[in-house]
Chain A
Amino acid sequence: MLTFGSIIVQALHLALVLAAAPLVVGLIRWLKARMQGRRGASPLQPLRDMLKLLRKRPVLAENASMVSEVAPYVACTASLVALACIPSFSRGMLLAPVGDLILLVGLLALARMALALAGLDVGTGFGGLGAAREMSFAVFAEPALLLCVLTFAILAGTTNLDLIAATFRDGGLGLRVSLALAAVAMLAVAVAENARIPVDNPGTHLEVTMVHEAMLLESSGRHLALWEFQAALKLTLWLALLSAIFVPFGTAPTGAGPLAWVLGLAAWLLKLGALCFALAVFESAIAKMRVFRVPEFLGAALLLALLAAALLFVSTGLA
């Protein structure tokens, strides 16, 4: 597996996602601003913000423990490792054999745990509130995601993301009701995981109902830059994951040459751009829901994922 091509692909993939992450956030903000009739900051603005914050010294609270200092690095690393496993322009990367969906769920959980601990560490009211909410949403979001993974695993016969993408790409499975249900469930989980609009508002620090931002109120300087970068990585991760599973077309196959890579890159950029546009439209069209209704929303996602798996048992004759 340790071929020269796979190493090159992996390196290019890492460079690509590192560059893409801040741009994705910036692009969504810019698109939203245009749709709401504002001029909007340049898509490069999040990158500029992060670079500026990176140069600044973090100011820690007096009673902050080591957790506050370590957590941003843990969360950022976990997200980056997870993103490194998701195929972008080409399959057959160096990390493809370990790119397991269950591992991915675990890495996301690790990042979430670091974030919640950082929110709790200093002991301010808002941080604890945000952490508590984040965890209560995760109670529904994680099982929903795992049930979606179960659906894909039954269909493709593996939990390896690369192989799942290849199986779905071949189209031998055709269209499946279970896949459609799992897609809806995964979209709901993605919206909740990235603190996007019906669940949380990414554009403000000043809401009583905030979740994600509430946990970051105490961080500053370098740490804040890392947290923001982690949020951008997570958003890119979800978009890449959705496009790798549900629209795996155009991705260069294992062992292809540079020409296929360029085509795969164009396809990937197109897919990501389309997803960003869809997200911006969705966020502009819909209002934030009450915090107490979020578990219901995610519970519905969980039930849909359960339904997808149950129907699959029927159609494959396992039951």
Chain B
Amino acid sequence: MTFGQLPYDVAHLFGGGMLLLSFMLLYQRRVTAVINGLAIQGAILACAAAWQGGMQSAPQLYLTALIAFAAKAVLIPLALRVLIRRLDMDRTVDTAMGVGPSLIAGVALVALAILVVLPITTGARAIAREDLALALSVVLLGMLMMITRRNAILQVAGLMSMENGLILAAVGVAGMPLVVELSTAALVMVVLVVAGVFVFQIRERFDSVDVSLLDPHRGEGR
């Protein structure tokens, strides 16, 4: 074993794990399974942040890891689960695009991320390039999930997964100020609360959390 490479390899592996989970989120057909996937992704993000903290000897990253674990692996999944129980909603995923095509679109997005990252990081180390490509892929896959799912809860899950990707990119770069990290974490919690209220409102009006019902009210499809 060449231990000089090992720290980078492990960081990499965490990034790869997050990407794999993003694909799992796209593949799953049950809402509870999606939320479990999101929780695991949050836990891996926390591991990645802690590992980077050890590698860059940056203690504030341990705090980031702690916040990520508390918020993304425990609190947000718990809140989403409570939301589902309160709404007593349908537990299968309703997609605007089939699972197969959305997986293909996902791979296309990863390719896009690689194509975008490669030219702008020429000269950087190969490790940093690949890490950035992974993080950007996670962000794009989260966005894809928001686009291709009709269910409001799953759109929230997509948003959270997208945010996981952003944090992954941020912890990989040395020297992110703690203030930024804290404010991002706070923002995400606020977004979750707003989204939760929103889902309740949609549900109250339309008796469903299918956002396609909103279209006529925006003046579309008339």
Q: Which of B1, B103, B118, B129 contacts A303 (CB 8 A)?
A: B103
Asked if B120 is at the interface of the complex by the 8 Å CB criterion, the answer is no
B129 A175 Cβ-Cβ under 8 A:
no
Asked if A101 is at the interface of the complex by the 8 Å CB criterion, the answer is no
A314 B1 Cβ-Cβ under 8 A:
no
Query: With A and B bound together, what is the CA distance between A175 and B7 in angstroms?
Result: 10
A300 B17 Cβ-Cβ under 8 A:
no
A176 B20 Cβ-Cβ under 8 A:
no
Contacts of B73-108 to chain A: CB distance below 8 A = 99-100, 103-104, 106-107
Q: Which of A178, A307, A317 contacts B110 (CB 8 A)?
A: A307
Contacts of A298-313 to chain B: CB distance below 8 A = 299-300, 303-304, 306-307, 310-311, 313
Q: Give the distance to chain B from A146, nearest Cβ to Cβ, in Å.
A: 16
Q: Which of A171, A299, A304, A307 contacts B1 (CB 8 A)?
A: A171
Report, as a range, how many residues of chain B touch the other chain. Answer: 20 to 34
Query: With A and B bound together, what is the CA distance between A303 and B105 in angstroms?
Result: 10
A203 cross-chain contacts in B, Cβ below 8 A: none
A314 B100 Cβ-Cβ under 8 A:
no
B23 A304 Cβ-Cβ under 8 A:
yes
Q: Give the distance to chain A from B136, nearest Cβ to Cβ, in Å.
A: 12
Asked if A254 is at the interface of the complex by the 8 Å CB criterion, the answer is no
B6 A175 Cβ-Cβ under 8 A:
yes
Asked if A319 is at the interface of the complex by the 8 Å CB criterion, the answer is yes
Query: With A and B bound together, what is the CA distance between A24 and B179 in angstroms?
Result: 57
A315 B13 Cβ-Cβ under 8 A:
no
Chain A proximity mask over B1-30: 1 for CB below 8 Å, otherwise 0: 110011011101101110110010001000
B20 A175 Cβ-Cβ under 8 A:
no
B111 A310 Cβ-Cβ under 8 A:
yes
Q: Give the distance to chain B from A294, nearest Cβ to Cβ, in Å.
A: 12
Contacts of B104-147 to chain A: CB distance below 8 A = 104, 106-107, 110-111, 114, 117-118, 126-127, 129-130, 133-134
A176 cross-chain contacts in B, Cβ below 8 A: 9, 12-13
A181 B2 Cβ-Cβ under 8 A:
no
6 closest pairs, A vs B, by CB?
Answer: A177-B16, A175-B9, A174-B9, A171-B1, A174-B5, A303-B107
